[in-house]
Structure 1
Amino acid sequence: MIKKVLFLAMFATALFSNSFNQNSNIGSFELTDQFDKKHTVNSDVKTMIVSFEKGTSADLNDFLATKEKGFLEANNAVFIADISGMPSIITKIFALPKMKKYNYNILLITDDEDKRFLQQEEKLTVYKLNNGIVTSVQYITKEDIPSLF
């Protein structure tokens, strides 16, 4: 019994210690975009905007649609969308073709075991970074998006 409790405690610690929190160093990691091109997220990035739901992604897409091509790059920002819960057939037939019409890259989380990013229901998670260190984590709604930049 004690072994089970210790195992669960270690598992929970490992699970939550892998999340990016304030003062975390994100290091360097790769994600693939909607064109199946790999992108490296590293200390050059100043803002990571992460969406876990269709609605919050749509809110950010609406905002970015009003900006010129290269807006995210010019602001040292990346848009990351968690599509891991989406059935692969839906992803291939509907989601990716729609995403390919955007004039910016969307980095995709496709592994449902990827727990690096914190989330709150119906909100975007925004990480502000300085030299790869998380200086703040915010949860925002549509109304807050313009104030990010």
Structure 2
Amino acid sequence: MNQPRAFAAFAATLLISVPAFTVNALADEANKAVAIEIGDPFPSWELEDQHENARELPGDSTGAIVFSRSKQADESLSPVLEEVVGERLTGGEVVYLSDISRMPGLISRLFALPSLRDRDYPVVLIREEGVSDPLVTQADCLALYRLEKGTVVGLENLCNEEDVRRAF
């Protein structure tokens, strides 16, 4: 028998024998271990916005960070956020943070960035995969991290227009 094939068969058998729930449980535990919670400092990052301007997070005046990793949540809720929060987005009191790391580079350059550049407020971008791992949000929701001096004092999911209006 060919040794590479024998090894491949052995590896496949080994992988099949590992229960899926064990792998999922380990992944869930890993996510819980790194998730930012109330009382934790918000990560200090230097990122760029949609205009390639450097932005330091959290800034001295940052009272809230609204985080998105969902295109659907961004498209449906960012207009409401802009209407409700307005000037605070421009002034840096509220920062909009978007993870675009999973988006293919070509799509990002041709479609996402031009669309983001049309916004009247900065959108701080996470472009590297894994950077946003400590930030959690429900599917198709925005996450609102309330901060005091860089420490998370509140965390909530904004999943619809009413949530956004109630939060601000």
The TM-score, its normalising length taken from structure 1, stands at: 0.81
Shift of 1:13: 7.1
- What percent identity do the matched residue pairs reach? 24
Aligned to 1:61: 78
1:134 aligns with 2:152: yes
RMSD across aligned C-alpha pairs, in angstroms? 2.7
Separation in structure 1 between the aligned mates of residue 31 and residue 52 of structure 2, nearest angstrom: 28
1:147 aligns with 2:163: no
Aligned to 1:22: 38
> In proportion to residue count, which structure has more helix?
2
Alignment of 1:1-149 (within 5 A): 16-26=32-42, 28-42=44-58, 43-66=60-83, 70-74=87-91, 76-114=93-131, 115-142=133-160, 143-149=162-168
Higher relative contact order (CA 8 A, sep 6+): 1
| Change over 3 Å in CA distance of 1:47–1:136 after alignment to 2 | same
State the aligned residue count: 142
| Change over 3 Å in CA distance of 1:28–1:44 after alignment to 2 | farther
Gaps of 5+ in 2: 1-26
Q: Which has the larger radius of gyration?
A: 2
The TM-score, its normalising length taken from structure 2, stands at: 0.72
Gaps of 5+ in 1: 1-10
